[in-house]
Structure 1
Amino acid sequence: MTILVYINSSNHLAKSALEAVTYAKKIGGLITVVATGSVDEATLATLGEYGAEKVLVDRNVSTEDSQQVARLVAKAAETTGAELIIFSHDLVAKAVAPRLSVRLKAGLISGAVDVPNTSNGFVVKVNVFSGKAFGFVAVNSAKKIISLLPNSFQPEKTGSVCTVEAFDSESGSSTIKIIETKTPEGEIPLSEAELVVSAGRGLKGPENWGIVEDLAKALGAATACSRPVADIGWRPHHEHVGQTGIAIRPNLYIAVGISGAIQHLAGVNGSKVIVVINTDPEAPFFKAADYGVVGDAFEVLPKLTEAVKKFRSAAH
């Protein structure tokens, strides 16, 4: 099978890009990566360590223009003869993959969490109902498109560096004009974080966020918040996780002073381990938690931070 993997390498190689290439390797076949962005060739060549045979890069395509990206991937698919196209299930994929599906007459599977089962056709396991259940989608078209749910597979190095070639997709000029770009703050991008510490209105005010940031720093985690916190301006909107914010699937999600409304749970219930800290023992979030602490965040968090620091000190 010939597989094409699209990645957006605007500033760096995201973990989701490495996951997508690893996923393609697990499926098996000849893997070509098509990339946009400004990441240098030496860094792009390291995608070979995860299974890519070759990287095609077009630096004239704007990732903000979904039509232009769709033309790029379609041209790369035609050039390589790809039977399967893989995206990471992010904002770009949500805009581009459906366009590409129509253009190529290819079946689209969104939010895959496992490799295709080919024992009886081509069937892929996906997340449905905001992560509350799994579905199994069969595709019968000759060409297929899969968007992989982030953090479903850990990146695995199985090879060596590959070749990187300039690629002219003839995708034309972008129709999107960028007026301003705001980049997320913080050392760890929320969408890539494996550990996340999040808080809600239980923190009582933005001036109290220091205890959340202290714990996140001790853990090497990203910080997040509930929608009400972002709406009233306590925290920036790029930290808002939930159904109307960013959907995340970290290995550990610590929720502090968040009641656990269904809209919030929809964005975080893919987390492998959920820890809830709340003074209200009846908070709905406890029903979804793997571990729960009924207590005051202003007492629990400093003690937890100190315990993490001691544990890490002893480990070194």
Structure 2
Amino acid sequence: MGIDQQLSAVETELYDRQIRLWGIESQERLRASNVLLIGVRGLGSEIAKNILLSGINSLVILDDGIVSEEEQQKNFFLTQNSIGKMIAEEFIIKAQLLNPLVKLTADTSDPTKKDAKFFEGFTMVVATRIKTDFLMKIDQICRASKIKLLFGDVFGSFGYSISDFQEHEYYVDQIKFSTVKRSLLDIGTRPEKSEKEIVKVKHQLVFPELKEVLIMPNTEQSVDHIKKIRKINPYFYFMLILLEFRNRQGRNPEISYKIKDVQLLKDIKKEVLRDYGADRFESELDDDLFELVFGEVVPVCAIVGGVLAQEVIKGVSKKEVPIYNVFLFDPLTYSGKEQLIKTSKQY
């Protein structure tokens, strides 16, 4: 999807504040980017809102779901008339008003039926609410085509994201002091003086494949490289527990099945902690945490969605260091922390 990266006069005026913040080059990279968003529920709608406002070229919403009454109540892009209709199509009606300059389209087909060719031309894929086997498939497709991938979810008050930006180059502004001499007529030369300037410094990060980061219970894949991490956030295992629940049930925990779902989550916790040799986290991952994983808490969606959208902007614009490579949102303290998961080759 090649396009002219140069900003028009209208775009320059509209994005003036952003250009002042991260520079014209970064805005032009955003202007040239094409993003695919899989899943536009509570979290997905927050991600979409923020990246639409950032000024990307195009956004494709891929979601085959139908608007329920519950979904309509927590998604500010949907109306009462949206109930019973395709969520992707209803979403773009109001979302397009946020930024008419972005090409916004809806795709209501089954995401799991998409072949590799469908993903060609996207700069980044953002995925939510999918099983890990499908996620691994997307990651391999993205790696083959050098497409950046970002994955995240909100389970109740808990949220997370995982990035695979592959070999990612980015630029950081740094202050540089240079020494100059000032000449004066008839007086000679002033003492040397330091002048300050902002320079762009290039860096690179190499991200591991997601199959090295998300290793589910009862598989033969080694987890030794994760066991070697000296300080690992226990919520990393909490994330694995919830993902494994979705893999087995084909859905997120639901309040209408609370007793059954909590018991299954407890069983999966034992498996995950056993496989990772992480029994020491039994007390930190208290069973009471499973009371906090139902639905999508709207304020948490706003926070985590803002974090993911910022990672989209950083990944596409190559401005500033991205999260490397897991972000975990604590459901008790409402604070977020990064967690680096290395591959066995990186040790």
TM-score, structure 2 normalization? 0.27
- Comparing both structures, which one devotes a greater share of its residues to helix? 2
Larger Cα-atom Rg: 2
Which structure would you say has the larger RCO, counting Cα contacts within 8 Å and 6 or more residues apart? 2
TM-score, structure 1 normalization? 0.29
